[in-house]
Amino acid sequence: MTPSSPSNPSFHWFNPSPQQDSDLLAQIGFIPGFKEFLTLRQVHALEHATVWVLSEMAARRQSPFDHSPADNEALGGLSTDRGFYLYGQVNTNELQIAAKQALHRLKNGEGQLALHPRCGTNLSVTLALTAGLVLGTHLIFPRGPISQLLGLGLATATAFQIGPDVGMSAQKYLTTAIPFNLTIVNIAPKADLWGRSGHFVQTEWQDLQ
């Protein structure tokens, strides 16, 4: 994975402190669910980074001299505050290597790995933008059917044009965080609550002193 690419933008101007989440937790950790929220953001970043690393590993096997960014679309994930599920055909030993490598790289300056263009955040943001813009054009445009249809088309096109970029910003500042506080406890095959088979990467929070 290159440090920066169109599908995986750079964090070069964003340098989070390793202590930031520990400090936040010390200050306002009394808020119910706050630690779980902080943990989920870090797990989410680790999930994305692990998918990127696994994609890199698969791409290198196919083309050893091709170092362009790769995204294995057969892989997917679901984050929880206790770890994340990884779906797709993955060897357990390879996943163990990839997850540990992803955690190391995130902690050592490759924050761009925390973002992923196929994340559900992007879709949610795009849908929210679409709804907001559709409502706005409905109120602003004349009430005639042709004007309303034009407004609907304009709103939808605009939302899908800017949605991915806004979604990546939402990932960067809201739904992911560099997992400075996480350690990997265990990685093993496991079905999720809906019976979908996959692997579960169990993580644990560690306060930084």
Please name the amino acid found at residue 111: G
What does the pLDDT look like over 10-31, one tens digit per residue? 555 467 888 899 999 999 989 9
| Cα gap 21→43, rounded to integer Å | 13
Please name the amino acid found at residue 169: S
Please compute Rg for the chain using Cα positions: 19
Evaluate if residue 101 carries a pLDDT over 70.
Answer: yes
| Cα gap 154→108, rounded to integer Å | 43
Evaluate if residue 5 carries a pLDDT over 60.
Answer: no
| Cα gap 118→88, rounded to integer Å | 15
- Highest average pLDDT, of 58-67, 82-91, 137-146, comes from 82-91
- Confidence grade of residue 191 (pLDDT, cut at 50, 70, 90): very high
Burial class, 135, CB count within 10 angstroms (exposed 0-12 / middle 13-18 / buried 19+): exposed
- Confidence grade of residue 183 (pLDDT, cut at 50, 70, 90): very high
Distance of alpha carbon 153 from the chain centroid? 29
Contact present, 181 and 205 (Cβ < 8 Å): yes
| Cα gap 116→174, rounded to integer Å | 14
Question: Which range among 6-20, 69-83, 100-114, 116-130 shows the weakest confidence by mean pLDDT?
Answer: 6-20
What secondary structure does DSSP assign to 44-66, as a single string? HHHHHHHHHHHHHHHHHHH-TT-
Tokens for 91?
């060897």
Please name the amino acid found at residue 79: S
What stretches of the chain show up as alpha helix (H) in DSSP?
20-28, 34-62, 92-107, 120-140, 145-170
Domain ranges across the chain: 20-115+176-205, 120-164
% of the chain residues with pLDDT over 90:
78
CA–CA distances in Å: residue 1 to residues 36, 55, 188, 195, 208: 30, 9, 25, 32, 28
| Cα gap 145→139, rounded to integer Å | 13
Q: What's the confidence (pLDDT) of residue 123?
A: 92
Mean pLDDT of the chain: 90
Q: What's the confidence (pLDDT) of residue 3?
A: 39
